[in-house]
Structure 1
Amino acid sequence: MKNHRKCVVTFLWVCISSFCFFSCKSEKEGPNKNHDASKPIVLKSFYPNEGGARDKILLDGENFGTDPGKVKVYFNNAKATVISTSGDRIYAIVPRLPGDMPQISVVIGADSVVYKDKFEYHIQAQVSTVTGNGQKNFKPGTLSEAEVYGKYLELDAEGNIFMSWRDGGNPATFGVARINERQNIVTPLIESILTGRILFANGLTVDRVSGMLTAAHESTKEVIFTFDPREAWYPRQRNVKYSTADLNSIVAADLYKNFVTYCPYDGHLYTRYRDGKIAKINPETLEAKIVHQGPYGSQYGQAINPAKPWLLYITLHSNATPTGFRQGISVLDLRDPNGTGGFKRLNAPGGSGFRDGPLADALFNFPKDIKFDNKGNMFVADYDNHCIRMVSADNIVTTVAGQPGTPGYKDGGPVESLFNQPWGVAVNEQGDIYIADWSNARIRKLVIE
């Protein structure tokens, strides 16, 4: 029976392949008609007028030409895949996460035209559990056996998930672990009981070219730890070299540096102390200097936008001063950190709350970790709203998973999925989001399109 079914499937595939071959061949043999640069591109309509990622769309108009390689289609700033063009109709595939109600534009050579109507984009999301069983502890093992109580996450280009944890278990422990779905493993890179800690880690960062993982020791001014994949991620303590003046300027009572972030724009690491000082570190020489004095306050998250890698984003605690920076998302332009733009808040003031929409009007409730995909979409672990929020590249905030204000644990789509105080997020090269669902003591995976 299996062989019979296999033969039927093979026969159907051959028929479909042959049909596609001859259809494509006959289409190629049709007359070629170039876009006429002396005449305008005319846009008439598109169908369907709503859909999601990977859906097909037909764009009608005039003067497109018949060479799909010369036609570009954008949904806002997201580039669609153009399959074919007949001169008056373009066949394309809707791109992933173009933003809220995107406008469709057609670009041919120096000509660019925008359809008057907007496309209604439907976000599709699915949440699953990677590892963890709800026990607030760390125990290595296979994904089904392991126990995790992670706070912060980071990913490399090879599919490794790195997790930092602290205070979980009895006795309380801290550490950094590696999680790999393909290898079905959770394994510690550094681990110790709390009273004998070597490294007290929070945010992690990876240089995705070299694979180097770096963690900042939060309670010493100079110490960072590196984990080199060429050395099987063996932990090495490294001491940052400040000038005497810079080192003494860091307030001893507020020396906590919870984060370190690799910046591909200039190849340096950036860290921030609770007294508001931001330092730039050369990862090769370890020479460092203070480059900015910002607002006081403990920190929840820090990230670089790969689409604009000179922008450093930071979320601050409810103890931030001035108060206008509390529980918000702020940004610093590293090209001129002490310039007129300075350290500025991006979302609405007002502290704890929930509001989607334009980023300037949006509210969060203890936003913790933040990370970006390669297109510049930011994902926020909105801790006390119990959900995952997205800030699109065009600064529109939407809730992509979890139910605002409703804690719980449930996998599934955006309507039914539940989180309980999500803390950490990380995004891989394909745009999949991993979440340290802290109070559920699990690592979750969000595939969003």
Structure 2
Amino acid sequence: MRKKNWKCLFFSIFFLLAFISCSEKNSKNEEPEIPYDPNKPVEFTSFIPETGGMASQVIIKGSNLGTDADQLRVYFNKKKAKVVKTNGNLAYVLTPKLPGDTCEISIAVGKDSIVSDKRFYYKTMVQVYTIAGTREEQKTVDGTLAEARFDRPFYLAVDKEKNIFVGEWPCRARMVNEEKNLVMTLYQSTASGEMMSGCTDNKNETFYFPMNGAPYYFEFNPEQQWIARRINPSIRQGDDFKLDGKYSFAMSELDSMLYTITTNGELVKINPKTHVASLVKKGILKEFIQTKLQVYLAFHPIDKDMLYFVNPSSMNPADGPIVGTDRIYRMNMRTLNYEVYAGSGIKGHQDGLKETAEFNNPCQICFDKDGNMYVGDTDNFCVRRISTEGVVSTICGIPGVSGYVDGDPDVALFNRFWGMKIDEEGKLYITDYYNQCIRKLSIQ
């Protein structure tokens, strides 16, 4: 991977020097730069290189591009690139962050716009780091990031202040803050139930931890100094369901309600202000309810009516026969109809089109702000991504190989993680359960 990076850097510098040389040559020959002429067409003939990552240097060749870098607009798919310089026939631009795997490059000057026939192929760059914890010791210790220890961290979420909330087995809540170099316990109890996959509110401030095996959930509010508040929702009159079995919360940006799918396949919403829970739909994945469902949810950040969920295969012998589909579903919240979104239903590992891709016990799912989905493929020990174009790729981890290694994605190893959330900057956080640590993926 490093050889490829050096090669890309060499060619980028070469093309940049060529661009500067061309500009200097024009200056020496006293040839004026060519301003944009609205009476002439804009031409887009080629670009180099054809592949790159974030902030890669790309040279665009054409005509009537103008000489004002602020007026020339260049897009990779729908993301705007930084235009560094243009002299009328050549433009030097920097690629934006995560525009998509296959990019349509378009340019616009004044009222004129044009799209290249060729495509630019974006290479996602990933690095894996350990924030805190070690697999050497299975115990709970607060303190600095170096001092902290975790005992079977399950799930996590991240707020706008970059506080990482970690749910530890069986009933413990921890907070991790990299900038403050701090790990602290917010709550612990010997009560029955397990803290599962929580979420923040729409302001990305207050955090909610669902409890599996208990009807209540926990609220952690910064205005209350993160003191744990146990909430016992009341069931709306006339509804018939139980909240004892819930593995995941997701908050809708449209109605600010907490949503969960119970182990009996009931879609339930909870009003976080009145604490009233009401039934939305029954019979979800009813063909797979042999013992209980274990559903994880996430709302789409752009198509806010769409709720995505996954039911991983049960790997606990106490749960009875293995159930699940190794598929990801999506539900239209206006019609309450749902369909398969990704996964062939065959247990395995295969990248490619989302309809034919294979997963092995996919668990946590989350989205970045552009709508790319990240999937914790638990028993493949890797992180998968489903692009907005519907292409599944493995961005980190070696399929079928467990272990503990930080670094580049082609060497990094995990050991059956469950929790996974992405922050507003596109950094992905993971609770690496058997490695007893919190990991971070920097994705560019």
Provide TM-score, normalisation by structure 1. Answer: 0.82
The Cα shift of 1:70 comes to 4.0
Question: Match for 2:237: what amino acid?
Answer: T
Q: Could you say which residue in structure 2 is the equivalent of 1:433?
A: 428
Give the secondary-structure state (helix, strand or coil) at the position aligned to 1:291.
strand
State whether structure 2 residue 92 is matched by structure 1 residue 91.
Answer: yes
Question: Match for 2:47: what amino acid?
Answer: F
Q: Could you say which residue in structure 1 is the equivalent of 2:310?
A: 315
**TM-superposition CA deviations, 1:109-156 (whole Å, max 9, x none):** 665432112223222211111111113333222211211221111100
| C-alpha contact 2:432 2:439 (8 A) present in aligned 1 | yes
The Cα shift of 1:344 comes to 1.3
- Give the 5 Å matches for 1:94-173: 94-108=95-109, 111-134=112-135, 135-148=137-150, 149-167=152-170
**TM-superposition CA deviations, 1:271-319 (whole Å, max 9, x none):** 1111221122332233442222322452252212223332221110326
Q: Could you say which residue in structure 2 is the equivalent of 1:4?
A: none
Whole-Å separation in 2 of the counterparts to 1:133 and 1:324:
32
Unmatched 5+ stretches in structure 2:
1-23
Question: Match for 2:35: what amino acid?
Answer: K
| C-alpha contact 1:156 1:208 (8 A) present in aligned 2 | no
- Give the 5 Å matches for 1:247-326: 248=240, 250=241, 252=242, 255-293=244-282, 294-296=284-286, 297=289, 298-318=293-313, 326=325
Q: Could you say which residue in structure 2 is the equivalent of 1:330?
A: 329
Q: Choose 273-282 or 358-367, whichever is displaced more.
A: 273-282
| C-alpha contact 2:313 2:323 (8 A) present in aligned 1 | no
Q: Could you say which residue in structure 1 is the equivalent of 2:185?
A: 188
Q: Could you say which residue in structure 1 is the equivalent of 2:4?
A: none
Give the secondary-structure state (helix, strand or coil) at the position aligned to 1:423.
coil
Q: Could you say which residue in structure 1 is the equivalent of 2:413?
A: 418
| C-alpha contact 1:275 1:295 (8 A) present in aligned 2 | no
The Cα shift of 1:92 comes to 1.6
Alignment counterpart, residue 392 of structure 1, candidates 382, 387, 391: 387
Q: Could you say which residue in structure 1 is the equivalent of 2:213?
A: 219
Does the C-alpha gap of structure 1 residues 110 and 224 become closer, same or farther in structure 2, counting only changes over 3 Å? farther
Does the C-alpha gap of structure 1 residues 110 and 263 become closer, same or farther in structure 2, counting only changes over 3 Å? farther
Give the secondary-structure state (helix, strand or coil) at the position aligned to 2:223.
helix
Does the C-alpha gap of structure 1 residues 82 and 285 become closer, same or farther in structure 2, counting only changes over 3 Å? farther
State whether structure 2 residue 353 is matched by structure 1 residue 358.
Answer: yes
Does the C-alpha gap of structure 1 residues 40 and 278 become closer, same or farther in structure 2, counting only changes over 3 Å? farther
Whole-Å separation in 1 of the counterparts to 2:279 and 2:66:
55
Q: Could you say which residue in structure 1 is the equivalent of 2:48?
A: 47
Whole-Å separation in 2 of the counterparts to 1:286 and 1:109:
53
Whole-Å separation in 1 of the counterparts to 2:366 and 2:281:
22
The Cα shift of 1:418 comes to 0.9
Q: Could you say which residue in structure 2 is the equivalent of 1:242?
A: 235
Q: Could you say which residue in structure 1 is the equivalent of 2:13?
A: none
Whole-Å separation in 1 of the counterparts to 2:281 and 2:432:
33
Question: Match for 2:304: what amino acid?
Answer: P
Give the secondary-structure state (helix, strand or coil) at the position aligned to 1:384.
helix
CA RMSD between the two structures: 2.6
Alignment counterpart, residue 204 of structure 1, candidates 187, 198, 209: 198
| C-alpha contact 1:422 1:436 (8 A) present in aligned 2 | yes
Identity across matched positions, percent: 33
Question: Match for 1:361: what amino acid?
Answer: T
| C-alpha contact 1:324 1:349 (8 A) present in aligned 2 | no
Unmatched 5+ stretches in structure 1:
1-22, 168-173
Q: Choose 41-50 or 276-285, whichever is displaced more.
A: 276-285
Question: Match for 1:147: what amino acid?
Answer: R
Does the C-alpha gap of structure 1 residues 441 and 139 become closer, same or farther in structure 2, counting only changes over 3 Å? same
| C-alpha contact 1:157 1:208 (8 A) present in aligned 2 | no
The Cα shift of 1:85 comes to 3.1
Alignment counterpart, residue 232 of structure 1, candidates 216, 222, 225: 225
- Give the 5 Å matches for 1:59-78: 59-78=60-79
Count of aligned positions: 402
| C-alpha contact 2:159 2:200 (8 A) present in aligned 1 | yes
Alignment counterpart, residue 405 of structure 1, candidates 390, 400, 421: 400
**TM-superposition CA deviations, 1:394-420 (whole Å, max 9, x none):** 221111111111111111101111111
